Amino acid sequence: MLWNSSGYDGIESLKILKDVVDVYLPDLKTLDPNFAEKFFKAANYPEQAEAAILKMMEYRELRFDETMLSGVMVRHLVIPGFLENTRQVLAWFAEHCKGRALLSLMTQYTPVGTDAAISGRYISEDEYEAVLSMLDEFGIDDGFCQELVKGSDWLPDFTRANPFSSELSVPVWHYKP
């Protein structure tokens, strides 16, 4: 079983899931309480997410066969204009997770509606290069980094069999009721 979460998991909830979940897929959105308060209304998000991810790694070690059988993969979405958030997350990951979890660094931020107040634009090539340099700086080489697809709209259209544009994805399975 895969547990996909925002990273805002309670330790008591994780204890209940301990013997059920094989792979944890938490977000680590930010380690800045001010950013978390402003955009998520949860200043304690960083503290909660750090504790949850550490507990997840305590419960599951990385194991692979053809695929990931168990472990933790920490996701982080790069927000344009807020690269210091990414730097903090990558530094924390390098110190606490390197060799114990995988990183999934996402560049798919798409500004819409009220979220556009965060940045209002896509990630620039310069920001993308800066993030790649941070990976080198912190020696993070286990995991995944999305390629930068300029101006792409990552928002899915679930009325289509392939909800993402064909340039961004290839469907491997589609549910038909």
pLDDT in tens, 17-33: 999 999 999 999 999 99
Show the domains of the chain with their CATH numbers.
Answer: 2-145 (3.20.20.70)
What are residue 104's DSSP bridge partners? 75, 144
pLDDT in tens, 138-149: 999 999 998 887
- Stated as kind and residue range, the H or E segment containing 5 is strand 2-5
**Kind of pairing, strands 68-77 and 63-64?**
antiparallel
For residues 32 and 35, what is the distance between their CA atoms, to the nearest angstrom?
5
Cα-Cα-Cα-Cα torsion 16, 76, 47, 17, nearest 10 degrees, comes to 0
Above 80 in pLDDT, residue 113?
A: no
Global confidence as pTM: 0.86
